[in-house]
Amino acid sequence: MIKKSKITAAVMAAILAVTTIFSPVLAGEFSSPEEITEEFSDGQENQDYKNEISDDMPQIQNEDGEGVSATESETERGTVVTTDDEFKRAVNSSVDIIRIRGNIGGNGKNIYELPDGDGKKIIIESGYTFKITSGLSRKYTTDIEICDNAKLIIDSTRQFETIWLKGIIKNEGNIDATGSGNVYVNYQENLGTINDKLKINILQDGEDEIKVSIPPKVTAGDMITPTITGMIPGSEIKTSEIFTGKWELNGNPLTGETGISYRVPVNRGESRIKLMLTLNEQYGAVKQNMQNPDYVNVQKSTSPSNVCTIEKKTLDIIYVDNNNGNDQNTGESETTPVRTFSRALDGIRNGGTIILLSNCVETNRVFLIRQ
What's at 185, amino acid-wise?
V
The yes-or-no verdict on residue 108 having pLDDT over 60 is: yes
Among 75-79, 85-89, 117-121, 269-273, the range scoring the smallest mean pLDDT is 75-79
The yes-or-no verdict on residue 289 having pLDDT over 60 is: yes
Mean pLDDT of 193-198: 96
Question: pLDDT per residue over 3-44, tens digit each?
Answer: 444 444 444 444 444 444 444 433 444 444 444 344 434 444
Where does the pLDDT of residue 116 fall: very low under 50, low under 70, confident under 90, or very high at 90 and above? Answer: confident
Q: How far is CA 136 from the centre of its chain?
A: 25
Mean pLDDT over each residue of the chain, to the nearest integer:
82
Question: pLDDT per residue over 60-84, tens digit each?
Answer: 344 454 544 333 333 345 899 999 9
Question: pLDDT per residue over 334-363, tens digit each?
Answer: 998 989 888 888 888 888 899 999 887 766
Contact 158, 136 (CB under 8 A): yes
What does the pLDDT read at residue 364?
Answer: 57
Contact 33, 80 (CB under 8 A): no
Q: Which CATH architecture has domain 211-311?
A: Sandwich (2.60)
- Quote the percentage of the chain above a pLDDT of 70: 76
The yes-or-no verdict on residue 128 having pLDDT over 80 is: yes
Mean pLDDT of 218-239: 96
Mean pLDDT of 190-217: 96
Mean pLDDT of 53-61: 42
Q: Is the dihedral of CA 214, 219, 224, 227 positive or negative?
A: negative
- DSSP secondary structure string for all residues of 29-82: ---SHHHHHHHT--HHHHHHHHHHHHHT---EE-TTS-EE-HHHHHH--EEEE-
What does the pLDDT read at residue 27?
Answer: 41
Could you say which of 3.30.1910.20, 3.30.2350.10, 3.40.605.10, 3.30.9.10 is the CATH number of the domain covering 315-368?
3.30.1910.20
Stated as kind and residue range, the H or E segment containing 18 is: helix 9-27
Mean pLDDT of 91-103: 94
Q: Is 214 exposed, middle or buried (0-12, 13-18, 19+ CB in 10 A)?
A: buried
What does the pLDDT read at residue 77?
Answer: 59
CA dist 321 and 325 (Å) reads 5
**Single pTM value for the model:** 0.71
